[in-house]
Structure formats: C-alpha cells, structure tokens
Amino acid sequence: MEEIYQTIPHREPFLFVDKIVEMRDDGIVTEREIRAEEPHFQGHYPGNPIMPGVLLCESVFQTAALYMANKFKAEGDQGGQKTPILTRIQNAKFKQIVRPGDVVRIEATYGEALGRFHFMKGKVSVGGKTVLTVEFGLAMLDAE
C-alpha cells in the first residue's frame, strides 16, 4: 500500500486498488478485495449489495495512473510531478456482477500517446471471468 500512496493521490474512501501484482512495459495488474463495509453499499442496492460499475471503472483508472507514474519515472521524467486526468471513456462493457467478498483483478494496458494524451484499455475480472472492459484516455498534466 505504501507504494500506492506514494504514487497516486487517491485515499480512502476513494482508493480502489489494494496492491500491485505485476508491472510490465505495456501495462500493469493490480488487485482489490471488495469489502462489505464500504460506504456505497449502504445505498447501492441495499440488502443486495452490488459493486457500482462506475467504481469498477475508477479502479481501472487508478491502476492506469499507477502505471503512468511508473512509466514517466522509468523514462527519467518526473512522473510524480504529473497528475493523470481522465479525458475519455469509451466502450465500457459490464459482463458480470461484483459483490462483497470478491477479489477483483484489474488490468490496464498501454496503447498509444498523442502529445500529452495517453490511450489505454482496461479489464476487470473475478476468478478468471471478465467483469468489465473499457477503453479510456488520460492526460498527464503538470501538478500545481
């Protein structure tokens, strides 16, 4: 967790990554355990808790932010001096329900860069079954 805290600005209750599993040249894999006590379950289908799809997407975006910070650092740039800002979401497809107790595996794969814009693909799975696929763009802006 300390590496995550040092790399991206997100904190509880809006941090949706527990650990980095793998860092590759073309992407990253993280995991997160979905916990029953998370505050959104109080109002999102009370009595039948379902992880909000938008928060699954957010876990992908946070995973991508971890990747981008490490990519900039590896290239000798000040990755910690850049803030990843979501600029595009496309083709989000939800295929399964995620519930408390599930451990989600989150993948972000790098596509291409156009100036300061970086295009990626994301995938969330539980037990080897795909839950979510999404394409998105991030802009890496100078931190203020």
- What is the chain's pLDDT, residue by residue, as a tens digit (144 residues)? 899 998 888 899 999 999 999 999 999 999 999 999 999 999 999 999 999 999 999 999 999 999 999 988 877 765 457 788 999 999 999 999 999 999 999 999 999 999 999 999 999 999 999 999 999 999 988 876
Confidence (pLDDT) at 54: 97
List C-alpha distances in Å: 135 to 24, 49, 107, 120, 130. 19, 26, 12, 6, 15
Burial of 109 (0-12, 13-18, 19+ CB in 10 A): middle
Confidence (pLDDT) at 80: 53
The answer to whether residues 90 and 136 touch, using CB atoms and an 8 Å cutoff, is yes
- Our answer to whether residue 44 is catalytic in this structure is yes
Q: What is the DSSP letter of 77?
A: S
Taking alpha carbons only, the member of 77, 75, 57, 66 closest to residue 121 is 57
Confidence (pLDDT) at 119: 98
Confidence (pLDDT) at 74: 78
- Candidate list 10, 40, 44, 118, residue with the active-site label: 44
Q: How many residues are given for the chain?
A: 144
CA–chain centroid gap for 91, Å, is 16
Write down the architecture of domain 2-142 according to CATH.
Answer: Roll (3.10)
